[in-house]
Structure 1
């Protein structure tokens, strides 16, 4: 009797489960044609152990909208209108040996799809993602790609043709910072000079024109990536000195050197500074107790500096960032990334004193975040 009752209840239960299963509607998976509307921050994950994906976060809540897959050792640059992302990365046949395909991708940011791709000179530098290693020149008609074999040179890519047209030797020099107008770029050199190079649409290029020595790499080296402030370039030294450079002529010239007057504080990080043009403000990551080799230390504070007078307009607590980025609008926001992969958002209060307030944070934004760009 008990066995019969138990069997009846079991069968009834199975029938109930089957009936419930009949009522479950299968989920339909879809692919959105475009990412969600709104401004975005793009973070390149350098990786070093595989591909270099680009993660796209909505600026409001740092919500992940999607990612763009590239090859290894990626570099990226965003068009001025914020609609097209260019990347260069390596596709390795055996990773530690074998053939390398260096591929330029042109991505539509809204659909996160590749509009086209093409191979270029495979000498491009397998270096941490930096702004000066992939740049747009001559009203975005050309890409400049930093090479290292370890001999240094710059590949000039004609975007209309979808092909590289020249390899410009740049011995002892690093980065390709395009001029405001024309087909020229500036590179920082280990002998303390800046070298200027010109190129033409037919692939010809000029011999380097060296500046006078503007810094001593042994006494006070420079961070390689300058800011473009109006028509000038502003470099920052490990010791906290701003060097204002005029690169508008054939030969780059040093206009002035101004100390940030940090005392025992000094700049540090990877992308150590960023510029907000409407307020003419430079934001710099700073750390205390500087010593020889601390120029990679994460930020303890973020300082706001007037780009005209170079006076400090504000000091705000940081969260261990190694890279920062200011957005372009009249009411800026500032974003930072840490070497552990946390993305931090700050609201910015402008005025006689500039202050930052942390307004959002996202852990695990990337494994090795190396470079940020924004489309607003």
Structure 2
């Protein structure tokens, strides 16, 4: 069928060309009896004979396209996919994806660019999301500029772009490189230049308030109303207390609770009720209470039994843990863990009740898990970024694979975020 259509087009074009050629005359064909016609005179004559009929109705306004907008409140099945485009880093983007949409053509709800391993955060109550990214004047070289782009989540148009004075943290994507205060008045941006600090942005005015140094301590974990806790190289915590204007009021340290050489932890916690649960490389969970003005260490417990630890079970991956609204925590687990395997991912996702500090379910990853995320709502879905850089959608109550989503512009969808 395709060949017949293609052949018909070729034949039709040949006929048109033949007619055009045979219908034309050359200067050698002209005789004295066939003078050359003045084309301009012919056009003027034709124009002068055209008359406008005023009784005819005006032509309708031609539609030039339809502009779609997104809902102010995103459905529970929508997720932000942090596509880092790790093979080039220039084509990174945030993809708004409906994981429940059965039609592939309707699954992508929108995208926003995210250059050079940009960092991302979304507001829950404000109609905005935020991308911190970098650009070189010559593409891959030349002077670098770091910017904060504030996007309208309904129209996906940039509301404002702010140039940042300090070099932002540029690393593999994570959920805590850009964070918001509890009331979403302030945005906190992690810097590493290589001195550690965080920048405070007033989201009411969309202006930079200032930058606070955190020597030896990184990442802005929101604490209390206007405090920020950072994790330090000696195993301690540093809480920076801000005033109502976002300026530094004071800083307090929390005593070391792990050994960075002997018992290192992932700086990627899961959150439940203002408690941050930090997994260690060997399978312990450290609980940090971030509800008050200053962070408080609440102790530790183990994800694995002694037998499982001896067998090699450890957490592993990139975004290795997430939680649902029922208070359960999901962690990627590797059965062949060793010193250095913390980035390797795992073949199972273990589900924990943090109140009882016990495992309640084991889910087999269909295709090796790298990162996990859980949708909002009473009946959440488990989203796994797998080894082939596709997304496995799993029913966490049954552990069954619902579907695998691919071909949505994915190259390296390393981190998935809840959408609000």
Q: Which bracket does the TM-score occupy, shorter chain normalised?
A: 0.7 to 0.9
Question: In structure 1, which of residues 347, 353, 362 is the aligned counterpart of residue 395 of structure 2?
Answer: 347
Is the counterpart of residue 190 in structure 1 residue 233 in structure 2? yes
Which aligned pairs between 1:80-229 and structure 2 lie closer than 5 A? 80-81=124-125, 83-179=127-223, 181-229=224-272
The whole-number CA distance in structure 2 between the counterparts of 1:374 and 1:183 is 23
Count of aligned pairs: 349
Greater shift after overlay, 340-349 or 146-155? Answer: 340-349
Deviation per residue, 1:179-238 (Å, 9 max, x gap): 1x3110111111011111112344531443111110111112111022221132211111
Is the counterpart of residue 43 in structure 1 residue 86 in structure 2? no
Deviation per residue, 1:325-353 (Å, 9 max, x gap): 1112011111111354211211221xxxx
**Cα 1:54–1:247 shift into 2, 3 Å:** closer
Aligned position for 2:24: none
Is the counterpart of residue 73 in structure 1 residue 117 in structure 2? yes
Aligned position for 2:361: 314
The whole-number CA distance in structure 1 between the counterparts of 2:153 and 2:363 is 33
**Cα 1:323–1:11 shift into 2, 3 Å:** closer
Q: CA deviation at 1:258?
A: 0.5
Question: In structure 1, which of residues 44, 53, 74 is the aligned counterpart of residue 93 of structure 2?
Answer: 53
Deviation per residue, 1:64-83 (Å, 9 max, x gap): 23321233221111111484
Q: CA deviation at 1:249?
A: 4.1
Is the counterpart of residue 272 in structure 1 residue 314 in structure 2? no
Question: Helix, strand or coil: the match of 2:342?
Answer: helix
Aligned-residue Cα RMSD (Å) equals 2.5
**Cα 1:254–1:11 shift into 2, 3 Å:** closer
The whole-number CA distance in structure 2 between the counterparts of 1:116 and 1:268 is 37
Question: In structure 2, which of residues 277, 299, 306 is the aligned counterpart of residue 234 of structure 1?
Answer: 277
What are the ranges of 5 or more consecutive residues in structure 2 without an aligned counterpart?
1-10, 20-62
What are the ranges of 5 or more consecutive residues in structure 1 without an aligned counterpart?
1-9, 19-27, 350-354
The whole-number CA distance in structure 2 between the counterparts of 1:11 and 1:132 is 61
**Cα 1:249–1:110 shift into 2, 3 Å:** closer
Which aligned pairs between 1:255-270 and structure 2 lie closer than 5 A? 255-261=298-304, 262-263=308-309, 264-270=312-318
Deviation per residue, 1:8-49 (Å, 9 max, x gap): xx789947xx9xxxxxxxxx9835422598542221112242
The whole-number CA distance in structure 2 between the counterparts of 1:80 and 1:70 is 20
CA contact (8 A) 1:274 1:282 kept: yes
Q: CA deviation at 1:374?
A: 2.5
The whole-number CA distance in structure 2 between the counterparts of 1:82 and 1:157 is 14
Deviation per residue, 1:162-190 (Å, 9 max, x gap): 221111111111211101x3110111111
The whole-number CA distance in structure 2 between the counterparts of 1:373 and 1:345 is 14
Question: Helix, strand or coil: the match of 1:132?
Answer: coil
Greater shift after overlay, 145-154 or 228-237? Answer: 228-237
TM-score (norm 1): 0.85
Q: CA deviation at 1:93?
A: 1.0
**Cα 1:345–1:259 shift into 2, 3 Å:** same
Question: Helix, strand or coil: the match of 2:349?
Answer: strand
The whole-number CA distance in structure 2 between the counterparts of 1:346 and 1:82 is 30
Greater fraction of residues in strand: 1
TM-score (norm 2): 0.77
